[in-house]
Amino acid sequence: MNIPDRTEKISTEQAGLILDQVPSGILVVDQEFKILWFNQWVETRIQLSRNEIIGRLLGEAFPEINRRNLIQALELVIHSGLPLTLSNRIHRYFIQMSPDDPTLGLVDMPQSAVITPLYQEGQFSGMAIMISDVTERVIAEQKLKREVNKLTVLHQIDQALATLDIQACLDEIKTQTQRLFETENVHFCLVERNGSNSFWELTQHELPEELVTRVVLQGEPLLIRDTAQHDLYRASPPEHCSEITAPLMIGTECIGLLTVRAAEKFTYIRDDLVLLEEVANRAAQAIHNARLHEQEQKQRRLAEALSEISRSLASELELSNVLDRILETISTVVPYDSASFLMKEDGIVRVRKHRGFEQFGSTQQVENSIWKLEEMPILRQIFETHQVVLVEDTHDAPGWLVLPESGHVRSWAGVPIVMRGELLGILSLDKAESGFYHQDHIAPLTAFAAHAGIALYNASVYARQVELANLDGLTGLPNRRFFDMRLAEEMQRTLRYGHPTSLIMLDIDHFRQFNDNYGHLMGDDVLKKMAHVLRAGVRLIDLAARYGGEEFIIILPETTPQDAMIVAERLRSRVQSAVFDVQLCEAVTISLGVAGVPMHAKTPLELIQKTDEALYIAKHNGRNQVVLYEALVK
Q: Which residues, including other chains, have CB under 8 Å from residue 18's CB and lie 6 or more apart?
A: 10
Residue 532 is predicted with a pLDDT of 92
Interior angle at CA 21, CA 20 and CA 25, nearest 5: 60
Give the model's confidence band at 196: pLDDT under 50 very low, under 70 low, under 90 confident, else very high: very low
Mean pLDDT of 104-128: 83
Residue range 221-249, pLDDT digits in tens: 999 988 888 888 877 778 888 899 999 89
Residue 509 shares a structural domain with residue 626? yes
pLDDT at 270: 86
Q: Based on the domain organization, do 443 and 558 belong to the same domain?
A: no
Same domain, 531 and 596: yes
Residues 489, 625 within the same domain: yes
**For residue 261, which of 216, 222, 204, 234 has the smallest C-alpha distance?**
222
Average pLDDT over residues 145-164: 71
Question: Bridge-partner residues for 133, per DSSP?
Answer: 111
Residues 241, 195 share a domain: yes
Cα 316 vs. chain centroid, distance in angstroms?
18
Q: Let me know if residue 558 belongs to a domain.
A: yes
Do 364 and 271 reside in the same domain of the chain? no
Cα 217 from Cα 224, distance rounded (Å): 18
486 lies in the same domain as 614:
yes
- Burial code (b: 16+ CB inside 10 Å, e: under 16) for 371-396 equals bebeebebbbebbeeeebbbbbebee
Mean pLDDT over 124-152 rounds to 80
Domain assignment present for 81: yes
Domain residues for the domain of 92 are 12-133
According to DSSP, the β-strands at 551-557 and 370-372 are unpaired
In degrees, to the nearest 5, what angle opens at C-alpha 176 toward C-alphas 180 and 181?
A: 20
Query: Do both 332 and 454 map to the same domain?
Result: yes
pLDDT in tens, 466-517: 666 788 889 989 999 889 989 998 998 888 878 899 999 999 999 988 888 8
pLDDT of residue 457: 81
Q: What is the mean pLDDT of the chain?
A: 83
Q: Is residue 154 part of a domain?
A: no
- Residue 175 — very low, low, confident or very high, per pLDDT cuts 50/70/90? confident
pTM beyond 0.85, yes or no: no
Kind and range of the H or E run holding 634: none
Residue 197's pLDDT is 39
- The sign one gets for the Cα dihedral 207, 209, 214, 219 is positive
More confident residue, 634 or 123: 123
Proportion of the chain above pLDDT 70, given as a percent: 87
Per the domain annotation, does 125 fall within a domain?
yes
CATH number at residue 270: 3.30.450.40
- Measured in degrees and rounded to the nearest 5, phi and psi for residue 345 equal -135, 105
User: What CATH code is carried by the domain that includes residue 564?
Assistant: 3.30.70.270
Q: Which of 618, 630, 502, 513 is nearest to 555 (CA)?
A: 502
Residues 565 and 448 in one domain: no
Asked whether the predicted pLDDT for residue 69 surpasses 50, the reply is: yes
Say if residue 388 is in the same domain as residue 496: no
Let me know if residue 7 belongs to a domain: no
Domain end among 441, 467, 493: 467
Phi/psi for 399 (5° steps) reads 85, -5
% pLDDT > 90, the chain: 29
Which stretch of 133-137, 190-194, 324-328, 437-441 has the lowest confidence by average pLDDT?
A: 190-194
Q: How many domains does the chain have?
A: 4
Mean pLDDT of the region 198-222: 68
Residues 342 and 442 in one domain: yes
- For residue 174, is pLDDT > 60? yes
Give the pLDDT confidence score for residue 194 in this predicted structure.
43
pLDDT at 574 over 90: yes
Q: What CA–CA distance (Å, rounded) separates 240 from 158?
A: 29
At 71, which CATH number?
Answer: 3.30.450.20
Per-residue model confidence (pLDDT) at position 201 = 43
3-state secondary structure 297-340: HHHHHHHHHHHHHHHHHHCCCCHHHHHHHHHHHHHHCCCCCEEE
Element (H, E) at 476: none
Give a yes or no: residue 319 inside a domain.
Answer: no
Q: Do residues 488 and 624 share a domain?
A: yes
Q: Quick check: is 306 in a domain?
A: no
Q: Tell me the β-bridge partners of 29.
A: 35, 127
- Residue 55: the pLDDT is 92
* pLDDT above 70: residue 1: no
What pLDDT is stored for residue 570 in this prediction? 95
Lowest mean pLDDT among 279-288, 406-415, 570-579, 619-628: 279-288
77-90 per-position pLDDT tens digit: 999 889 999 988 78
The answer to whether residue 316 sits within a structural domain is: no
262-276 per-residue burial string, b: 16 or more CB within 10 A, e: under 16: beeeebbeeebbebb
Most confident of 478-482, 561-565, 627-631: 561-565
